[in-house]
Structure 1
Amino acid sequence: MHPLDSLFAPRAVAVLGVRGTDGEREAALTAALASFPGPLLKIDADRPDPERDVHATLANAVEAHGTVPDLVVSCATGPSTADALREAATAGARAALLHSGRPAATDAQHAAERRALADAVRETGIRVLGPGASGFVVPSLRLAAGPAPGITAVEAGPVALVTGDDGTHYALAFALAEAGVGLRLGVGVGDGVDVTHADVLRHLAEDDGVRAVALHVESVASGRRLADAVRRLVGRTPVVALVVRSGGVGGPASWRVARAALRQAGAVLVDDERDLVDAVTALGRTRLPPRPRPGVGLVTTHAGPGLLFTENLRAQDVHLPPLVKCTAGLLDGLLPAPTGQRNPVDAGHPLPALPDVVERVSEDPSIDVTVVHTLLGPTATDLPAALGETRPATPLIAVLGGPPKELRRAREVLDRAGVPCAPSAAAGTTMVRALVDDAAARARLAAADITPPTFPPLPFSGAVDEHTAKRLLAQLGVPVPEGRVCADPAEAHRAFDELGGPVVLKSLDAGYPHRIEVRLRTHEELDIVLAGILPGLTLLIERAVPDGPELAVAVRRDPAFGPVVSLGAGGPAAAALGDVSLRLAPLSVIDTHTMLDELVTLDLILGAHDVAGIDRSHLCGVLLALACLGADERVAECEIGSLRILPDGDVVALDAVLLMTD
């Protein structure tokens, strides 16, 4: 039995304060719970009415019913809620749902109430959803623990919905219902004093009735735990994630980290609620086998709309491989001569041979999913019925256009056949991309080989000087310029001779008000610079590196997700381009390669300096080294702001910043 079964699959439920201070909300909640087939215990300490089965205490209700509730539901939150949890646990309840109540008057009071609830959870072991939870619905159990009107009408299905706030939970549940998608579980976790998004995902990982999960993230308290839960779940169930920019996720940087972390864990990312519904509609009905780059076979019946749909798919980097000669030969016997037979296949207007065309395309060895794009209209062929009876060798998606009445009928027919049906080209593009991204993510996770780093703890604190930071990076295999630390002009001239000009001179003292970094070609230039420097300043002289493009790499400790490795444009272009790829540490070699692939401005950066390419293995080694440093919990940040790309494609770290926690 999973620890959250007492919450989402209770044998008996108790409602506290059925006629309390939040009258309308509590009445709606009690009415929704009336459909629950098990015992429903009603408690109202202020206005008990035993004749109407409303009792003064939970103990009285337990005695009257002869049963102990697994779940206690309450709309009230406040200073007394923690005591109510203890009372419920003493009576035998194992879970509690705390709905949105009246907010605390001040932030300090709110924090105090949260601490009291956390203490009650820790002391009793009771599992708590909320406070501020929108509730949940389990249609298969006829359990609607939420006050939203109409929530009891949501039908059972294979999709689970996990959100944070009140309105989003119900809005998405109704949007899924409109798309013909039923729920296995729909839950809004609220403030997450105990049960969080991650806990619900771990619960779903053991539910064989879930075929897809829609994850809506507004705030992240323990991002690493959430990412781990997603990674565990996607091995058996696809996850579609929408991370919103507002709320507790924070600013743009935190939003990017959250999206990158969930993508790295295997989730399919979408940009808005409509795409979330479309993606989970497709993945709730079918799933592709793991493939690094799945092939999509497209059959269209109208050239113009079909061409636009094709361009939409290609803009999303969907792979439409050419069909093999054998497939093209088979299509020759089915299609008129002028039609396209490579991919996409233009089958012309709807015709009786369309199901055969779809089956032949699906049998091509390069195709992993087959898509039919057509417009409904008057025809001798019942197109939806024909597609529903097709026996393709791959999963099938139907992308349809036409009058609303015809589209509704087509969806009903195709739903019964288990074929995802998109009512527009935009929805079809989202569905195809979701299937492809999910398959590619699972292939990547299966191939990833992450070895936990074993670098010894670092003997530093605070800000580490650049030379020491570079020596550390060099031990990890990161190329750095050869350099010397100099305490006086004589040592500086000796370093110049040993290194050979040109050199770069830098100041190492963190307390010096103006950072010095200058390129020098002669001893005379060195004397001029030294004359303007305060005596006693520690200097670093390094062999100069040839000019070239620069990248920026770093590892930083995110408060929610832990160590995060970043890769982006370096030097003066960094802020202007804003092109950054992020991953949680530790990294696999595959992770490092995909980070490089994600840099859309890389060709621009290389082309501006006439550099043909970059040694991927060396750059990946740098990223792995930074991820290794991130394993030390005392490393707050390590950044190489200028990772120079040399003419031969190698890389060298021109600078290094290392910050340690004290």
Structure 2
Amino acid sequence: MGTLSGLFAPERVAVVGATDREGSVGRAILENLGAFDGDVVAVNPNREDVLGYRCYADVASVGEPVDLAVVVVPPSIAVPVVREAAEAGVENVVVVTAGFSETGADGASREGELKAVAAEYDLNLVGPNCLGVMNTTVDMNATFGPEMALPGSVSFMSQSGAFITAVLDWAADQGIGFKDVVSLGNKAVLDETDFVREWGDDPDTDVVLGYLESVQDGQEFLEAARETTRETPVAVVKSGRTDAGAKAASSHTGAIAGSEAAYEAGLEQAGVLRADSVQELFDSARALSGLPLPDSDDVAVVTNAGGPGVMATDAIGDSTLSLASFGDDTLDTFREVLPEEANIYNPVDVIGDASVERFTTAVDAALSDPNVSSAVVVSAPTAVLDFEELAEALVDVQAEHGKPVVASLMGGSRTEPAVEKLRTAGIPNYFDPARAVDSLDALARQRRITEREYVEPTTFDVDREAARDILMDAKERDDNRLGVEAMGLLDAYGIETPAGEVVDEPADAVTVAENIDGPVVMKIVSPDILHKSDIGGVKVGVANENVYDAYEDLVARATNYQPDATILGVQVQEMVDLDDGTETIVGVNRDPQFGPLVLFGLGGIFVEVLEDTTLRVAPVSEPEAREMIDEVKAAPLLRGARGRTPADVEGVIETIQRLSQLVTDFPAILELDINPLVAGPDGVRAVDVRLTVDTDQL
């Protein structure tokens, strides 16, 4: 798509559909552009002038290059108007007009025509059905919102235009400024991925914020955000939680890995900070835009009020941060400068009669400690403490040490001059100490994101043709649900399975069993019978002499249970000692936005009850697979807790990666469970498999 500089910093803007009619969008946009640094032209074939602007019949009649066209004409003529603008050389278009895909089939068809025009002329097109765009560096307010944003270094996108107007009104009171603001609308062409890329390359954008209800292409967004967040923080509020993941699914993974879980996994992998509320989003933005990142997670709390200090300490316990342990030199300094009744251990309580000098001396000592990477300063108002003087001192101390400091000066109007001094220096203030801690937590999380080293997923040597043949056999049988008859898929991708075969004659079952040491497991194989154990379709510990009869009994049970079921045969399989390992699950569910999600967790029959699982978007790299192991509560079982023999964790990590490659190679696989994947001391083996396939994609 190329650079979006012409969209946000154009030299000439044309308002197509300009009018002076009271209450109209065309008038509001034209009025809002009154302060724009560049040229503004009005386009309306029915008028000679509008609000003092000369009117042109169309964009081509302007006679000068137009960098941005803002379209506010009725939806019935919007598409030809955009085409005319494109033919006149306009490269950037904002379609404010509604009446497209949000209105039903006719609108969706119209939006399709709009996309086609944009593709034909390679347009940077925002909308349709949007509020517009802003850029404070050139004083461009190409929206019909009631006010212009304050200037700043935050760039903000929103899927809701109304949300933008509310945020800008609130942010003005909070002194929060913006560089670019864009209302995404229907995202017919430009979407969140394009703006994350643009702002990631923009040296004037320090933080990217977003309000999103959906992501157009999860894989593209993940790639763009992963690149951007190495240097520029990205934080979003994601709403629109769906019940898609709660619908009945044919696999354990499908039941657990719903759409909301996909966003959680995708945003985390992309390095995007997810906020649970608008307040948290902008609390984080304040810290991210004004403060350096801390070197570690260790925080000092300095307060003149015991209760609020404890509140800050509790918040640290609930976060990813930790209370710093002061060195001996720091404790000696506290003993020298603080009264006996003060608490010199973290949190430091300088007590209620502290002067500005005592307070800031304590903050200085804490920040001087090499074990401290950031500080929270909490203060209640007292008669002996001037907040404005304290703010000035904190600005100096923070600048001297270069470590992030956040404040919680707790009060009302008397705090306003102090808060303004802090804000000017980039130090945020929060009435609630917990919010101050949360903002530091955002800084720490961003530091960890920048420290990540992205590793390309491993490509294993596999037999793709053998896997394809198994899937094609299913297509020929018109089967879209497969079970143990598809174990060969795992073998083709190097995932170890127990010895065995699927046979369709009892005599063949005997032959297979004779080549396996010890008793065997036998399972009915039918795409129509998913829960085989529920109908007695599984026999465990079958001796060789009983295999023939067991075969016939399994087939009879299946036929009696479901006379019209397709019976492919019986699987005869080597027994795996479940007591010698840990039952885990590795599965996949394909999400509409993010594609295949790989799940790992404690397996067996309790997977959906305990829900001790974690997710990643495929393809999964080796470090990501290793993180998945560490994230589940059952990880100590794998590593040898309470005297257990450690399992082959490296084998589990490799299995996750190999399954990730399988489902990436074959988009036709919609859901897949390996449950259980038994992880023992000497390796891992996939005991059972179940998958759903879209045969139309084969």
* TM-score normalized by the length of structure 1: 0.89
1: CA distance, partners of 2:576 / 2:682 = 13
Note the C-alpha offset of 1:285.
0.8
Note the C-alpha offset of 1:158.
0.9
Q: AA paired with 1:70?
A: D
1: CA distance, partners of 2:367 / 2:114 = 56
Match for 1:416 among 418, 421, 424?
A: 424
Note the C-alpha offset of 1:649.
9.0
Q: AA paired with 1:429?
A: V
Q: AA paired with 1:257?
A: A
**Contact 2:585–2:673 under 8 Å retained in 1:** yes
Q: Secondary structure at the match of 2:90?
A: coil
1: CA distance, partners of 2:487 / 2:417 = 67
Q: AA paired with 1:177?
A: A
Partner residue in 1 for 2:252: none
Note the C-alpha offset of 1:236.
1.7
1: CA distance, partners of 2:115 / 2:126 = 12
Deviates further, 102-111 or 482-491: 102-111
Q: Secondary structure at the match of 2:262?
A: helix
Alignment pair present for 1:306 and 2:309: yes
1:198-237 residue pairs with structure 2 within 5 A? 198-237=193-232
Q: AA paired with 2:142?
A: A
Q: AA paired with 1:583?
A: R
**Contact 2:15–2:42 under 8 Å retained in 1:** yes
Judging changes above 3 Å, is the alpha-carbon distance between structure 1 residues 56 and 247 closer, same or farther for their aligned structure 2 residues? Answer: farther
1:7-406 residue pairs with structure 2 within 5 A? 7-19=7-19, 24-49=24-49, 52-59=52-59, 62-63=62-63, 67-102=64-99, 107-149=104-146, 151-152=147-148, 154-246=149-241, 253-288=258-293, 294-337=297-340, 339-349=342-352, 350-351=354-355, 352-380=357-385, 382-391=389-398, 392-406=400-414
Judging changes above 3 Å, is the alpha-carbon distance between structure 1 residues 183 and 519 closer, same or farther for their aligned structure 2 residues? Answer: same
Deviates further, 53-62 or 365-374: 53-62
Deviates further, 544-553 or 165-174: 544-553
2: CA distance, partners of 1:248 / 1:94 = 39
Deviates further, 518-527 or 576-585: 518-527
Alignment pair present for 1:571 and 2:597: no
Note the C-alpha offset of 1:507.
2.2
1:391-540 residue pairs with structure 2 within 5 A? 391=398, 392-444=400-452, 446=453, 448=455, 450-451=457-458, 455=462, 457=464, 458-460=467-469, 461=471, 462=475, 463=480, 466-467=483-484, 469-474=486-491, 476-510=493-527, 515=532, 516-523=537-544, 526=547, 529-534=550-555, 537-540=568-571
Judging changes above 3 Å, is the alpha-carbon distance between structure 1 residues 15 and 90 closer, same or farther for their aligned structure 2 residues? Answer: same
Q: Secondary structure at the match of 2:578?
A: coil
Q: Secondary structure at the match of 1:419?
A: coil
Note the C-alpha offset of 1:482.
2.6
2: CA distance, partners of 1:551 / 1:347 = 52
Judging changes above 3 Å, is the alpha-carbon distance between structure 1 residues 272 and 20 closer, same or farther for their aligned structure 2 residues? Answer: same
**Contact 1:397–1:421 under 8 Å retained in 2:** no
Q: Over residues 211-230 of structure 1, what are the superposed CA-to-partner deviations in whole Å (9 max), with x where a residue is unaligned?
A: 11112211222111111121
Task: Give the % identical residues.
Answer: 24
Deviates further, 20-29 or 187-196: 20-29
- CA RMSD after TM alignment: 3.3
**Contact 2:230–2:449 under 8 Å retained in 1:** no
Q: Secondary structure at the match of 1:208?
A: coil
Note the C-alpha offset of 1:110.
1.4
**Contact 2:678–2:687 under 8 Å retained in 1:** no
Match for 2:625 among 577, 592, 605?
A: 592
Partner residue in 1 for 2:559: none
1: CA distance, partners of 2:342 / 2:237 = 40
Judging changes above 3 Å, is the alpha-carbon distance between structure 1 residues 604 and 400 closer, same or farther for their aligned structure 2 residues? Answer: farther
Partner residue in 2 for 1:656: 689
2: CA distance, partners of 1:469 / 1:410 = 68
Q: Secondary structure at the match of 1:365?
A: coil
Judging changes above 3 Å, is the alpha-carbon distance between structure 1 residues 256 and 345 closer, same or farther for their aligned structure 2 residues? Answer: same
Q: AA paired with 1:138?
A: N
Note the C-alpha offset of 1:459.
2.1
Q: Secondary structure at the match of 2:588?
A: strand
1: CA distance, partners of 2:319 / 2:645 = 27
Judging changes above 3 Å, is the alpha-carbon distance between structure 1 residues 560 and 103 closer, same or farther for their aligned structure 2 residues? Answer: closer
Judging changes above 3 Å, is the alpha-carbon distance between structure 1 residues 126 and 619 closer, same or farther for their aligned structure 2 residues? Answer: same
**Contact 2:407–2:427 under 8 Å retained in 1:** no
Unaligned runs of at least 5 residues, structure 1: none
Q: How many residues matched?
A: 654
Note the C-alpha offset of 1:605.
11
2: CA distance, partners of 1:233 / 1:105 = 30
2: CA distance, partners of 1:309 / 1:612 = 42
2: CA distance, partners of 1:343 / 1:558 = 46
Note the C-alpha offset of 1:108.
2.0
2: CA distance, partners of 1:249 / 1:490 = 46
Q: Over residues 200-245 of structure 1, what are the superposed CA-to-partner deviations in whole Å (9 max), with x where a residue is unaligned?
A: 1111122111111112211222111111121121122111122113
**Bigger share in helix:** 2
Judging changes above 3 Å, is the alpha-carbon distance between structure 1 residues 394 and 615 closer, same or farther for their aligned structure 2 residues? Answer: farther
Deviates further, 585-594 or 462-471: 462-471
Q: AA paired with 1:530?
A: Y
Note the C-alpha offset of 1:161.
0.7
Note the C-alpha offset of 1:274.
1.2
Note the C-alpha offset of 1:452.
5.1
**Contact 1:76–1:101 under 8 Å retained in 2:** no
Q: AA paired with 1:593?
A: R
1: CA distance, partners of 2:189 / 2:300 = 46
Q: AA paired with 1:384?
A: A
**Contact 1:455–1:629 under 8 Å retained in 2:** no
Deviates further, 199-208 or 344-353: 344-353
Q: AA paired with 2:120?
A: E
2: CA distance, partners of 1:514 / 1:314 = 44
